[in-house]
Chain A
Amino acid sequence: MSKALSILARSVAIFVPVFLVATFVTFALRALSGLSPASLQLGESATPEAIAQIEQQWGLERPFLTQYLDWFGDMLAGDLGKSWYNGADISRLLAEGAVISLSVAGLALVIGVVFGFGFGVLAALRRTTWVDRAITGFMTFISVMPSFVVGIVLVGIFAVGLGWFPSAGYAPAERGIGVWLAHITLPAIALSFDTVSDVARQLRAGLVAAYRENYVTGAVVRGLSPRRIFFRHVLRNGVGPSLAVLGLKFPNLLGGAVVTEAIFGMPGFGQFAANSAQRGDVPAVQGVLVVSIVLVVVFNLLVNVVLARVAPASARGV
């Protein structure tokens, strides 16, 4: 337990400077981009006077560091400011979008873990047989399928063809778990392919390598049951790389959501990020980046802790 704590403390020590630098760069984006809320708000009434007035109203004429410190202070208090595009509270918009994205990414992660581990273990147990070859081939195939193509194909088959799932939209869980799951299943499957294949391949490689180790041979010689050998010796030592991959996958799932959410018309985090960036809604993009930084770091923390418990050797190098 204390080991986990010390890992946590070390990770937090890394996190703070990363967070400071990342937010500073994020905030500097506005100054670098030269974007202005006036373009978004004024439309056909964008006279030079009106533009100057709007920029003053947003406090953009103040010194850069003053603006950054104000923004940073507000951010720590959970206030990410207001959108240039529609004047809405960005923290609220992000929270609304994040629920949707986390639903989809979470389910995609579950699918990725279940099937990734399933296929990986099966391939490792039947290594070098046709089962292993078929799984490896299939994993390679799905790893190169972009999620938007998979999404459109899934809609074609399961929504339009079979009518099993709605083809688009999102329903919150308050409307019923079944309805909620129905809406997020297809996008989650589309999003999960990459995770399934990467986890499966890493796990297979890790397990196969572990089976070749002397301690496994020793265990076999001592007459331990295959089940015990697998869980005690092989899985524990071979799972590291696939867990590390999983840690990298979560940000990927959120990033991939940009495309799947567009295909499925889900107003999630990814859509919000993409739309805000296209519109030049700088405070919204800054908000997205802050939340992304936090999510990525927290998820990596989690994986580090899990990894340290499952495979203690991994903690040595941190």
Chain B
Amino acid sequence: MRRKALAVLAAIALGLSACAGQSAGAAGESTLRWAVTLPAHWDPVVSGSGAQFRILSLAYASLTEIDEHGKAVPSLAESWDYNDKGDQVTFHLRPGLKFSDGEPLNAAAVKAYLERAKTQKNSALDGDLTSIKSVTAQGDLDVVVQLTQVDYQIPLLLGERVAQITSPKAALDPAKLDQSPVGAGPFVVTELVPGSHVYLKKNPDYWDAANIHIDRVELQTTPDAATIVSGLKTGVYDFANLTASQVKAAQAAGLDVVFQPGFNASNISINVNKAPFTNPKVVDAVRHATNRQEFVDKITFGYGKATDQPFPPEYLAYDKQSADRYPYDPAKARQLLAEAGYAPGQIKLDLVIAGQTYATASEIVQSQLNAVGFDITIKVDPNWEKPFFAKDLTLSLYGTTGRESPVQTLTAHFGPQGPLNLSSPYQPEGFEKAVSLARSTPLESPDYEANLRAATRAGLESRALVFTYSQPNIFVKSKKVSALTPIPGQIHWTGLKVEP
């Protein structure tokens, strides 16, 4: 009996081995199999973080794109121009664009999208669009954007993150759109099972379809970090997001590890409206107690960089002048706490974090702060967003995947309404003026870089944030996939090739 069963199983196993690694697509089709954490939302208005917009960019095209130098370049909009005063910008759309449901992608569709992003109740973008007063369609191709202030950042702002244009017809039912995307991107979704898989095929109507060389994209849920590398090695996936801990294993397996530049930066968020941080000396003690290299070593496995700004050190808006203003100096931190009148262990604080993502970071912060005389307890709150964005927490951790507009990154961190400013409405003195100057400097102006850095400097006066480290976006791909264009914060599908 047992022998028969064994024989049957052996036969099945032999039969199977012939099928292993077989692909689902038809022969000769080039398919990109991407193991990725699937986005919960497919309506760009609802979708939240920068990491998700990278995935949504398969199905949606945006008004502008970012090039390798972080500059805005044409996409759906062929060109744009500002009025003389700088408070109105007109985007000129490419003619003949259409959505995958056949609807025309014209000025009215862009206007409808921007207005929806500003007004829809569950919009994740309304806070990003405060500069926009009104949008009007001039004829079929010209979108006129009226601004509340002089703002030359708009072409950057209306890039992948904020202006992935959705079909106005599909947007009549936002709940359905959120489950089945209708855009004008390089690919069209053919099958979408939330939490399981998403299949897309090339969109022949995409404006740059000639430069899209992939026929099919299959998004699959990521396996455990421990088996991603074997998945790529055996050809189950071609492309995957990689954790820093797996970089060595991937390289050892002969796979390409891609360090894609990003805007990511992590921070310790402080509420200066709450004791003990109402005393600037206590904030300074935190600043001097922070050893950034430890974050780089233990969280990014050495692949990140220490930063004391909301930008990675190689970024345009990074202010070298402000670098290392509060060097790691635990002795000084201890002294500052004493000067503020606190005995070691007297400041008992909860470090409230969102969950797993910040687990290691919270332990590092705890040990560094406790070493200088704080008494920190880590609290994981699954409802973390509630107290954090209500500005009820005293001490927390957060990070950003960044925004294409550096001015927006600054206001998000330091502005009075900034979601990442735990101390709002507090803002450092002089920040408003410096930001306004940076905003009103044309991107081509020779003063732009200097004004931008001055705004960063002014923002860094804020006591609400202590920046710790930045990390590139890490991907792993098989040799079948051609090189990625190193565009900060984004992935572009244009020109990418996969051997069939």
Given A45-B123, A54-B122, is A167 in contact with B227 using a C-beta cutoff of 8 Å? Answer: yes
The reply to whether A41 and B122 form a contact with Cβ atoms under 8 Å apart is yes
The reply to whether B195 and A275 form a contact with Cβ atoms under 8 Å apart is yes
The reply to whether A48 and B390 form a contact with Cβ atoms under 8 Å apart is yes
The reply to whether B178 and A51 form a contact with Cβ atoms under 8 Å apart is no
Find the B residue at minimum CB distance from A113: B5
Q: How far is the CA of A160 from the CA of B232 in the complex (A)?
A: 10
CB distance from B3 to the nearest CB of A (A): 9
The reply to whether B223 and A267 form a contact with Cβ atoms under 8 Å apart is no
The reply to whether A36 and B122 form a contact with Cβ atoms under 8 Å apart is no
Find the B residue at minimum CB distance from A259: B224
The reply to whether A265 and B20 form a contact with Cβ atoms under 8 Å apart is no
CB distance from B486 to the nearest CB of A (A): 27
The reply to whether A39 and B195 form a contact with Cβ atoms under 8 Å apart is no
The reply to whether A45 and B126 form a contact with Cβ atoms under 8 Å apart is yes
Q: How far is the CA of A269 from the CA of B24 in the complex (A)?
A: 23
Find the B residue at minimum CB distance from A182: B16
The reply to whether B20 and A182 form a contact with Cβ atoms under 8 Å apart is yes
Q: Assess whether A264 is interfacial by the CB under 8 Å rule.
A: yes
Most buried by B among A47, A167, A181, A263: A167
Q: Assess whether A114 is interfacial by the CB under 8 Å rule.
A: yes
Given A45-B124, A163-B234, A166-B234, is A263 in contact with B227 using a C-beta cutoff of 8 Å? Answer: yes
Chain A residues with CB below 8 A from B41, complex form: 86-87
The reply to whether B230 and A160 form a contact with Cβ atoms under 8 Å apart is yes
CB distance from A166 to the nearest CB of B (A): 5
Chain A residues with CB below 8 A from B224, complex form: 262-263, 265
- From B48, B121, B126, give the contact of A53 (CB < 8 A): B121
Chain A residues with CB below 8 A from B386, complex form: 36, 38-39, 46, 48, 51
Chain A residues with CB below 8 A from B450, complex form: none
Given A43-B48, A44-B419, is A278 in contact with B356 using a C-beta cutoff of 8 Å? Answer: yes
Chain A residues with CB below 8 A from B12, complex form: 181, 185
The reply to whether A121 and B419 form a contact with Cβ atoms under 8 Å apart is no
Q: Mark B109-129, 1 if CB is under 8 A from A, else 0.
A: 000000000000111101100
The reply to whether A167 and B124 form a contact with Cβ atoms under 8 Å apart is no
Given A97-B196, A121-B1, is A265 in contact with B227 using a C-beta cutoff of 8 Å? Answer: yes
Chain B residues with CB below 8 A from A43, complex form: 48-49, 124, 385
The reply to whether B193 and A42 form a contact with Cβ atoms under 8 Å apart is no
Chain B, interface SS category:
loop
Chain B residues with CB below 8 A from A272, complex form: 195
Q: Assess whether A29 is interfacial by the CB under 8 Å rule.
A: no
The reply to whether A85 and B226 form a contact with Cβ atoms under 8 Å apart is no
Given A160-B230, A165-B17, A278-B355, is A267 in contact with B195 using a C-beta cutoff of 8 Å? Answer: yes
Most buried by B among A46, A53, A119: A46
The reply to whether A167 and B231 form a contact with Cβ atoms under 8 Å apart is yes
Q: Assess whether B321 is interfacial by the CB under 8 Å rule.
A: no
Question: Among residues 181 to 209 in chain B, which have CB atoms less than 8 Å away from a CB atom of chain A?
Answer: 193-197
The reply to whether B233 and A160 form a contact with Cβ atoms under 8 Å apart is yes
- From B127, B194, B226, give the contact of A45 (CB < 8 A): B127
CB distance from B498 to the nearest CB of A (A): 17
Chain A residues with CB below 8 A from B15, complex form: 178
Q: Assess whether A169 is interfacial by the CB under 8 Å rule.
A: yes
The reply to whether B223 and A263 form a contact with Cβ atoms under 8 Å apart is yes
Q: Assess whether A315 is interfacial by the CB under 8 Å rule.
A: no
The reply to whether A267 and B24 form a contact with Cβ atoms under 8 Å apart is no
5 tightest A-B CB contacts, nearest first: A265-B223, A118-B2, A43-B48, A267-B196, A86-B40
**Sample of 11 more A-B contacts, CB < 8 Å, known A163-B234, A167-B231, A181-B16:** A34-B383, A43-B124, A87-B179, A114-B5, A121-B1, A169-B237, A179-B22, A182-B16, A265-B224, A265-B236, A272-B195
